[in-house]
Amino acid sequence: MKSIKVGLLGIGTVGSGTFNVLKRNQQEIAARAGRGIEITMVADLNTERAKELTNNEVEVVSDANLVVNNPDIDIVIELIGGYGIAKDLVLKAIANGKHVVTANKALIATHGNEIFKAAQEKNVMVAFEAAVAGGIPIIKALREGLTANSIEWIAGIINGTTNFILSEMRDKGLDFDIVLKEAQRLGYAEADPTFDIEGVDAAHKLTIMASIAFGIPVQFDKAHVEGITKLQATDIRYAEQLGYRIKLLGITKRTDAGIELRVHPTLIPASRLIANVEGAMNAVLVRGDAVGETLYYGKGAGAEPTASAVIADLVDITRLATADPEHRVPHLAFQPDAMADTKILPMAEITTSYYLRMHVTDQAGVLADVTRILADSSISIDAMLQKEPADGETQTDIIMLTHKTQEKNVETAIAKIENLATVVGKVTKIRLEELN
């Protein structure tokens, strides 16, 4: 059978990784796919660099439209990123009857519903394994490997940049700003790291996983997105003394009231495997009702790890291209007419445990006042840490870990605690998950 023809839009880090791995492993990949997979056309604004990266072996153009409109191309790989031009090109490729592979989490998390609908109408596939956790085959695992399960929750370290920063803050006791600069110098963080450090990148990936896990449309706009920019080294240290690590987790959970969809710094017990995922690595913990917990670990970014996911999608599409569309794996795991409209819960209605740090005047009755307020909001205390005031100081920190409660109870209690004359400044609140 003649090889399947692929057009590549954007040949940066992941694009060149894809080109190289496809070439290096072409025999094995063809043996698995049932026919050869060949990149025959590349579009990139920097045509000279593109020619160099592809050893002048493929046609290089600067206008991506020439790829998506080329009748000889069967599959388009979109590695441009963002949701402007990338969205137009993906929709054009679909309209032209081409299958699409993309690593673009922002695009899928925000416009996935429209893209999947268009793909369904044209009987083409849109594959996006590389959009979530880079080289870890988590989409495949959720959509196929765990298909027998009712998924209960997912908790993931799905942004390498922030995990690297948090690891360094803990290891070296340094503040966020200093570590961020170091991460940029080492190339772990982008020159503009906003999407990573503000939790947006993780929320894009979480949104996609939630849809597949729970059979709901992608709804990035309903996700709670909180990054690590306000996290203090002090809290990482106190958490450690209490037996916890702080990670930027993407958490999605099915509850009776609806679905939780949230990204924020989270205390997790230091003894959990996922708490020990360090540096730029990613890990996703999934709990299914039949299988229990499964953990997926690996590189969430980089040329060849991400290429590994892109090529897995190419192979899947190649194998399924001739299959009856009805028998393909649905984009979001559930058949399009069987999607649920389960509500995504506002943060006030989520239930979790909390780490609270308050700076107080060290005098009789302070603790009694605080615990009374917590009791009035039906918040039960799980553990407490009070530091002796430093020499000559009259103020100190009190840290409390709570049992599970609704976020709105905690917000009410914090407002009252902050009003106490003996409490100085704001209360620091970090959510805590036991993950069991």
Residue numbering of the annotated binding site for NADPH: 105
Q: Within 13 Å, how many C-alpha atoms sit on residue 137's CB side?
A: 12
Single out the segment in contact with ligand HSE by CB under 6 A; choices: 63-71, 155-163, 325-333, 426-434: 155-163
Whose Cβ is closer to ligand HSE: residue 201's or residue 304's? 201
- Write down the least CB distance from residue 131 to ligand HSE, Å: 8
Q: Is 205 a catalytic residue?
A: yes
Among the listed residues 300, 334, 360, 399, the single contact to ligand HSE using CB under 6 A: 300
Size of the site for ligand HSE (CB under 6 A): 7
Whose Cβ is closer to ligand HSE: residue 54's or residue 161's? 161
298 is a site residue for ligand HSE (CB under 6 A) = no
- Write down the least CB distance from residue 154 to ligand HSE, Å: 16
CA torsion sign for 25, 27, 32, 35 is: positive
Among the listed residues 16, 54, 159, 308, the single contact to ligand HSE using CB under 6 A: 159
- Write down the least CB distance from residue 203 to ligand HSE, Å: 11
- Write down the least CB distance from residue 38 to ligand HSE, Å: 27
Whose Cβ is closer to ligand HSE: residue 58's or residue 210's? 210
Burial 171-204 (b: 16+ CB within 10 A, else e): eeebebeebbebbeeeebbeeebebbbbbbbbbb
Single out the segment in contact with ligand HSE by CB under 6 A; choices: 82-90, 159-167, 310-318, 331-339: 159-167
Whose Cβ is closer to ligand HSE: residue 196's or residue 407's? 196
Burial 306-320 (b: 16+ CB within 10 A, else e): bbbbbbbbbbbbbeb
Whose Cβ is closer to ligand HSE: residue 301's or residue 314's? 301
161 is a site residue for ligand HSE (CB under 6 A) = yes
- Write down the least CB distance from residue 277 to ligand HSE, Å: 12
Q: Which of 87, 98, 140, 205 is catalytic?
A: 205
Among the listed residues 15, 160, 199, 298, the single contact to ligand HSE using CB under 6 A: 160
Single out the segment in contact with ligand HSE by CB under 6 A; choices: 158-166, 167-175, 258-266, 330-338: 158-166
Write out the binding residues for ligand HSE, residues 167-206 only, by CB under 6 A: 196, 201
- Write down the least CB distance from residue 306 to ligand HSE, Å: 8
Whose Cβ is closer to ligand HSE: residue 13's or residue 395's? 13
- What is the distance between the alpha carbons of residues 22 and 307, in angstroms, rounded to a whole number? 9
- Tokens 């710094």 belong to 265
301 is a site residue for ligand HSE (CB under 6 A) = yes
Q: How many CB atoms lie within 10 A of CB 206?
A: 31
- Write down the least CB distance from residue 280 to ligand HSE, Å: 7
Single out the segment in contact with ligand HSE by CB under 6 A; choices: 153-161, 233-241, 361-369, 407-415: 153-161
**Can you say which residues are annotated as belonging to the binding site?**
9-16, 105, 190
Q: List active site positions.
A: 205
Residues at the contact surface with ligand HSE, assessed by CB under 6 A: 159-161, 196, 201, 300-301
